[in-house]
Amino acid sequence: MKIQNNHSLKKYNSFAVEAKSRYFCQIESNDQIDALLEWQQQFDLPLLLLGGGSNILFLNDYQGMTAIINTKGITIVGEDSDYTYIRANAGENWHQFVRWTVERSYAGLENLSLIPGTVGAAPMQNIGAYGVELADILYELEAIELATGQCKTFTQQECLFNYRDSLFKSSAFGQYLIQSITIKSPKKPQWNINYAGVKGSLEGKTINAETISNSIIGLRQSKLPDPALIGNAGSFFKNPLLRKSKWQALKQLYPDLSGYPQADGSIKTSAAWLIDQCGWKGKRQGDAGVYKKHALVLVNYGSASGKDIGRIASDIVKSVSDKFGIVLEAEPRMIA
Ligand code: EPU
């Protein structure tokens, strides 16, 4: 394991903002994970585990060790009459994993095509798109407890998945390194194609994992910026969950307000719509901006710092709060 000092993280965060990590290493094997944990126990410095860096905003340099998890490998680990079980190591690129399954006609991941990031980061925030969340197809995952170095298996239920949330992002935050995930691919899939825009683009085509994946790729490319070209972290804010009474009062004032009832009785509404109504779409403050095709996506046009992005995010939160009385919550993790 090669440790570097004061290493730039610009290439390792999808916002492409400049930030330095006091220590830096890349983890290519499970043996190197052991070495990393020994190092961490010896020096007792904060540890930042990064996959694709697609859900993080560096407001400052990082004063600990940043470890990029690069462990690779995809394997079919079993099957029964209903499912095929497929395991992927944490460092696999998420979209390449999705395409690996789709190209072999395994169903389940197609709606999650083109989401930036790695396999190991996916459970953290229970990635989701077009009516499907990781929680719907995850069977189990293996994670290393940082304090003991022990490998533990978590069933889907034990991961405590919620909307853009999990055990690893909440009560067990900072305690585990996700080593691999195992998904269950259904042998008799129920395709999820009701999301606006998906069904239409499939008209006249055979419906299977590959055609759905291609349709989702087209849809995402039409409205979301490619982080390889314009720095961004996908949706910057979560869609807010409102009390029913609050949602009803707003709906009287704004008949276009969307509302998706949740199992807990709350109503999810569209953060993009709220931000758009405040006139933010396409706005720019220097090189930090709101993407012109989607109000939920903050972008770095080149030389914005994390603080520049953070500033525009705070200004948006204030506008939405002033106009609608809703406080938006950021999705990416902030490194202060
Ligand atoms: N809308 C606007 N203005 C805009 C964009 C959208 O008013 O500039 C309104 C439209 O009415 C649209 C609605 O917002 O119908 C919802 O927009 P969209 O379908 O793009 O979905 P979203 O709720 O903004 C969520 C996820 C995305 C995911 C899409 C598709 C969150 C925070 N975001 O976005 O996930 O790709 O649904 O399923 O839940 C991500 O998390 O990084 C991400 C991109």
The DSSP line for 142-201 is: EEEETTT--EEEEETGGG--BTTB-TTTTTTTTSEEEEEEEEEEESS------STTHHHH
How many angstroms is it from 131 CA to the middle of ligand 1? 11
Q: Count Cβ atoms below 10 Å from residue 41 Cβ, excluding itself.
A: 11
109: which 2 tokens?
Answer: 């991941």
Look up 104 and say whether it is catalytic: no
**Cβ of 238 below 6 Å from ligand 1:** yes
Rounded Cα–Cα distance for residues 314 and 329 (Å):
10
- pTM, entire model: 0.96
**How much distance in Å is there from the Cα of 66 to the middle of ligand 1?**
31
Ligand 1 atom nearest the C-alpha of 125 is 41
- Please give the distance of CA 270 from its chain centroid, rounded to a whole number: 18
Say what the pLDDT of residue 85 is: 98
Residue 268 identity = K
Q: What was the pLDDT predicted at 196?
A: 81
- Pick from 305, 259, 298: nearest CA to 280: 298
Residue 99: per-residue pLDDT: 98
- Structural domains in the chain plus CATH codes: 4-69 (3.30.43.10), 74-222 (3.30.465.10), 225-335 (3.90.78.10)
Q: How far is the CA of 273 from the centre of ligand 1 (A)?
A: 9
Distance of CA 35 to CAs 1, 26, 42, 135, Å? 7, 11, 11, 31
Annotation marks residue 235 as catalytic: yes
pLDDT digits (tens, 9 = 90+) for 21-40: 999 999 999 899 999 999 99
Q: Residue 329: count other Cβ atoms within 10 Å of its Cβ.
A: 13
The residues, ordered by sequence, that sit 6+ positions from 334 with a Cβ below 8 Å of its Cβ are 56, 57, 59, 310
Strand partners, 57: 334
Per the annotation, the verdict on 79 as an active-site residue is: no
Neighbours of 81 (CB within 10 A): 6
In this structure, how many other beta carbons lie within 10 angstroms of the beta carbon of residue 63?
A: 13
Catalytic residue from among 164, 185, 220, 270: 164
Ligand 1 center–CA 65 separation, angstroms: 34
What atom of ligand 1 comes closest to residue 164's alpha carbon? Answer: 39
The residue whose CB lies within 8 Å of the most ligand 1 atoms, and thus the one to mutate among 270, 281, 333, is: 270
Tell me which residues of the chain have a pLDDT lower than 50: none
Report the 3 state secondary structure along 137-150. Answer: HEEEEEEEECCCCC
Determine if ligand 1 sits within 6 Å of the CB of residue 130.
yes
Residue with CA at minimum distance from ligand 1 atom 2: 273
Instruction: Name the residue with tokens 């961004």.
Output: 232
